[in-house]
Amino acid sequence: MAEADRRKWDARYASGNFLIEEGAPSAILVRHMGAARRGRAMDVAAGMGRNALYLARHGFAVDALDISPVGLAHLERAAAAAGLADRVRTVVVDLEVHAPGKAIYDLVIMANYLERRLIPRLAAALCPGGLLLIDTFLDDPASRAVAMNPAHLLKPGELGAFFGDDFEILEERAYPRVCMDGSERLKQAFAVRRRP
């Protein structure tokens, strides 16, 4: 399964015209950047690394993880061109099995990717006071958009159940988004902080 994903995403990124959200950073990341403590960050399923670059520009040392070496090579070139190569480390991993370590990140972002078994590992990877931002697709039976794998769609309210009393939910909201194929889908923006 992961190998098939790698081939699919490598081919998309190799085509050179697969720019998610026009290459702009995720809105949830922009919203929370002002209050985010600088330090170490992880961009989960980074792809071509629009969020990793934004984090590096804002002073973070970023680990950008993805299964696609082609996507991460784009990020390495962009980071070098922007003079940010020393703040971005790319790591080719299979996130279905990867464990990122414990209490090492001040900020973690996962955008447009969902692997439920990874979420507790992302929570554990946060330092006290660290921020986890998730922005991905919601199950939306009313949508007439092209069907997505239901395993990759969140149920409304689902994310909160992953986090116990050690965490404070800062934001949880659904919003419509026009996707690259022109269809409109509901997305979920979710921000949680590990209590200091």
Residue 2 or 129 with smaller CB distance to ligand SAM: 2
Shortest CA distance to 106 belongs to which of 65, 153, 55?
55
Residue 66 or 106 with smaller CB distance to ligand SAM: 66
Residue 71 or 100 with smaller CB distance to ligand SAM: 71
Work out how close the CB of 96 gets to ligand SAM at its nearest, in angstroms, rounded to a whole number.
5
Work out how close the CB of 139 gets to ligand SAM at its nearest, in angstroms, rounded to a whole number.
17
Work out how close the CB of 85 gets to ligand SAM at its nearest, in angstroms, rounded to a whole number.
19
Rounded to whole angstroms, what are the CA distances from 173 to 10, 75, 190?
A: 31, 29, 7
123 lies in the site for ligand SAM, by CB under 6 A:
no
25 lies in the site for ligand SAM, by CB under 6 A:
no
Closest-CB residue for ligand SAM? Answer: 47
Helix (H, G, I), strand (E, B) or coil at 176: strand
Whether 46 and 71 have beta carbons less than 8 Å apart is answered as yes
100 lies in the site for ligand SAM, by CB under 6 A:
no
Residue 68 or 188 with smaller CB distance to ligand SAM: 68
Q: What angle do CA 193, 115, 97 make, to 5 degrees?
A: 105
Residue 22 or 165 with smaller CB distance to ligand SAM: 22
DSSP assignment of 55-84: HHHTT-EEEEEES-HHHHHHHHHHHHHTT-
Q: Residue 151 and residue 117: Cα distance in Å, rounded?
A: 12
Q: Residue 196 and residue 168: Cα distance in Å, rounded?
A: 10
Q: Of residues 36-95, which lie at the interface with ligand SAM (CB under 6 A)?
A: 45-47, 50, 66-68, 71, 93-95
Helix (H, G, I), strand (E, B) or coil at 50: helix
Residue 49 or 130 with smaller CB distance to ligand SAM: 49
Interacting residues toward ligand SAM by CB under 6 A: 2, 5, 9, 20, 45-47, 50, 66-68, 71, 93-96, 111-113
